[in-house]
Chains A and B, each alone.
Chain A
Amino acid sequence: MMKKRGKGFQVFAASIMLITCLIIVIPFLLMIISSFTEEKSLLLNGYSFFPEKWSLEAYRYILKSSGIILSSYGYSALVTLTGTILSEGMTVLLAYPLSRKDFFAERFLTVFVFITMLFNGGLVSQYMIYSTIFNIKNTFFAYLVPNLMLSGFYVMIIKNYYTANVPVELIEAARIDGSGEFYTFYKIVLPVARPIVVSMGVLIALSYWNDWTNGLYYVTKPEMYTFQSLLNRMIQQINYLTSGQMMSNAAQTQIPSVSVRMGIAAIGVIPMIIIYPFFQKFFVGGLTAGAIKG
Chain B
Amino acid sequence: MISSLRSKNSWINGLLINSQFLSGRKWPAVYFVGHISNDMRREKKLKKSELHLLLMTLPGVIYLVINNYLPMFGIVIAFKKINTSKGIFRSEWNGISNFKFLFRSADAWLITRNTLVYNLVFIFLNIFLGVLFAILLNELWSKTFKKLSQTILILPQIVSMVIVSYMVYAFLSSDNGFINNSILISLGKNKISWYSKARYWPFILVFIQAWKSLGYNVLLFLASVVSIDSSLYESAEIDGASRIKQIRYITIPLLKPAMITLGLLMVGRIFYSDFGLFYQVPMDSGPLYPVTQTIDTYVFRGLSNISNLGMAAAAAFYQSIVGFLVIMTCNTVVKKVDAENALF
Cβ of B305: which chain A residues have Cβ within 8 Å of it? none
Residues of B146-170 contacting chain A, CB below 8 A: 148-170
* Stretch binding the partner chain, chosen from B20-28, B30-38, B118-126, B255-263: B255-263
Given contacts A96-B56, A292-B258, contact A121 B327 (CB under 8 A): no
Cβ of A96: which chain B residues have Cβ within 8 Å of it? 53, 56
B178 with A116: CB separation less than 8 A: no
Per the bound structure, the CA–CA distance linking A146 and B67 in Å amounts to: 6
Residues of A120-146 contacting chain B, CB below 8 A: 120-129, 131-134, 145-146
A23 with B211: CB separation less than 8 A: yes
* Stretch binding the partner chain, chosen from A63-71, A86-94, A192-200, A245-253: A86-94
- The total of chain B residues at the interface (CB under 8 A) is 120
Closest to B244 in A: A9
B198 at the interface (CB under 8 A from A): no
Main secondary structure of the interface of A (DSSP, over half): helix
Main secondary structure of the interface of B (DSSP, over half): helix
**Residue of B5, B145, B317 with most chain A CB atoms under a 10 A cut-off:** B5
- Expressed in whole angstroms, the minimum distance between the Cβ of B144 and any Cβ of chain A is 12
B60 at the interface (CB under 8 A from A): yes
B173 with A47: CB separation less than 8 A: yes
- Expressed in whole angstroms, the minimum distance between the Cβ of B327 and any Cβ of chain A is 5
A123 with B163: CB separation less than 8 A: no
Cβ of A269: which chain B residues have Cβ within 8 Å of it? 159, 163
Residues of A13-58 contacting chain B, CB below 8 A: 13-14, 16-18, 20-21, 23-25, 27-28, 30-31, 34, 42-43, 45-49
A262 at the interface (CB under 8 A from B): yes
A contacts, CB < 8 Å to B: 2-3, 5-6, 8-10, 13-14, 16-18, 20-21, 23-25, 27-28, 30-31, 34, 42-43, 45-49, 89-91, 93-94, 96-98, 100-105, 107-109, 112-129, 131-134, 145-147, 149-150, 152, 155, 175, 180-182, 185, 206, 209-213, 217, 228, 231-232, 235-236, 258, 261-262, 265, 268-269, 272-273, 276-277, 280, 283-284, 287-288, 291-294
Some 17 contacts from A to B, beta carbons below 8 A apart, are A13-B135, A13-B136, A21-B153, A24-B211, A24-B214, A43-B176, A46-B181, A94-B59, A102-B11, A116-B69, A119-B72, A134-B66, A152-B64, A265-B167, A268-B159, A269-B163, A287-B216
